[in-house]
Structure 1
Amino acid sequence: MGKTELRKSLLKTRQSLSVTDWKHKSQLICQNLLNSPQFNQAKTILAYFSFRQEPDLSQLFTDSSHRWGFPRCVGQSLDWHIWTHKDTVITGIYGITEPHPDAPTIASADVDLIFVPCVACDYQGYRLGYGGGYYDRMLSSPEWINKPTIGIVFEFAYLPEIPIDTWDKPLQGVCTEIALVYQ
């Protein structure tokens, strides 16, 4: 199965989760992250606002011991902005919640950990995204290439193998509701 077909199938499965099941699985993912030394040692963490029933990490965002950054799609790249649970958000170009454009930005040098949204991940750490290439471009650039990354997926989307292209780079870890696994 190619990337397009796999993406479509997994998104359909994710959308079919009941709200109760989605919330429960998301809570378990958050617990696995909270128990991670990498999470607890990080000062600045890049995350995402859940979209189309992605795992919801919002219960983590009230933790003021971390500085949180969230993406804005600008052209073909992601700009990262500081956000706290008290700040406003807007709806961005793809219907995704984003920080306000005037929110302070975060430089790559200040980032300790990146939670990467995924449609799927495989056991080698490769990620299947939505097909826009935003994270692929960012994580391949020199200033981001060595940053610790954890893909966030539900267990049904953590697969033995997914189709990859030459530009795909593996993530350093994958977190599901079952476990946080480092590659």
Structure 2
Amino acid sequence: MSPKSDLRQTLLTQRKALDPYRWEQQSKRLCQHLRYCSLFRQAQTILVYWSVRREPDLSSLWTLPKTWGLPRCQGQDLVWHRWALGQPLVLGAYGIWAPPSQAPSLSVNLVDLILVPALACDRQGYRLGYGGGFYDRLLATPPWDHIPTLGIVFTANQVDQLPRDPWDRPLGGVCTEEGVQLYGAPRSDA
């Protein structure tokens, strides 16, 4: 196994073991920090994710007057759809709830901020995902490569440095239940 694979297994096991009450409380605190983050406040259209495997739960934000986008896996790519609380979802790839394929798509030129799920983020803004490369491919391609990004993790999953591959790109910042840290990477300058 590679260092990333070993780390993924360890982090997934730890996160799944998180007490449900503590998970809920940490998620709420994380969302409070997002509400006060200037990138979030200024954004009109925000891409989010449906929480699985004890990822931080962002659902308390979905009643805010923003335009929300949720992804759907299509082959090796993420396709984004406009979504609002109460609209239908279907069980998609990897057991993740996603908008149905006929839901209205969301144009990249409308997106102001991407909240990126991660197993871990390091202090330079690099993230460890699940290994499918969906976000790495998305964030490496124009016109997606300039949109501000925030990695979303609990503090326990923020580490000093992650193993990196040549295709890994840093996020603009990270939000945890303890606050938001912006890194000044190219995608955080919007």
Q: Which deviations, in whole Å up to 9, do the C-alpha atoms of 1:12-66 show, x marking residues without a partner?
A: 1100101000000000110000011111110000000101110000000111x21
Identity %: 48
What does residue 33 of structure 2 align with?
32
Larger relative helix fraction: 2
Indicate the residue corresponding to 1:15 in structure 2: 16
Provide the rounded CA distance (Å) in 2 between the counterparts of 1:62 and 1:87: 13
Query: Does residue 1:121 correspond to 2:131, yes or no?
Result: no
Q: Distance in 2 between matches of 1:43 and 1:115?
A: 13
Look up the match of 1:171.
Answer: 171
> For the residues of structure 2 that align with 1:5 and 1:157, how far apart are their CA atoms?
14
Give the CA RMSD over aligned residues. 0.8
1:99 CA drift (Å): 1.0
- Classify the secondary structure of the residue corresponding to 1:100: coil
Q: CA deviation at 1:86?
A: 2.0
User: 1:73 maps to what in 2?
Assistant: 73
Q: Cα deviation per residue 1:130-176 (whole Å; 9 max; x = unaligned)?
A: 00000000000011001000000010110000000000000001000
Whole-Å separation in 2 of the counterparts to 1:29 and 1:166: 30
Moved over 3 A (4+): none
Give ranges in structure 1 of 5+ residues lacking alignment.
none
Which residue number in structure 2 is paired with residue 182 of structure 1?
182
Matched, 1:88 2:85: no
Once structures 1 and 2 are overlaid, which stretch shifts more, 121-130 or 97-106? 97-106
Alignment partners' CA distance in 2, 1:165 and 1:126: 10
Q: Secondary structure at the match of 2:40?
A: helix
**Whole-angstrom CA distance in 1 between matches of 2:152 and 2:36:** 15
Paired position in structure 2 for 1:98: 98
| Aligned counterpart, 1:110 | 110
Bigger mean CA deviation after superposition, 100-109 or 115-124: 100-109
SS at 1:103's partner residue? Answer: coil
Q: Distance in 2 between matches of 1:3 and 1:93?
A: 22
Q: Distance in 2 between matches of 1:92 and 1:52?
A: 15
Q: Deviations over 1:97-122 (max 9, x none)?
A: 10121110011111000000000000
Residue segments in structure 2 that go unaligned for 5+ positions in a row: 184-190
Q: Secondary structure at the match of 1:145?
A: helix
CA distance in 2, matches of 1:135, 1:71: 10
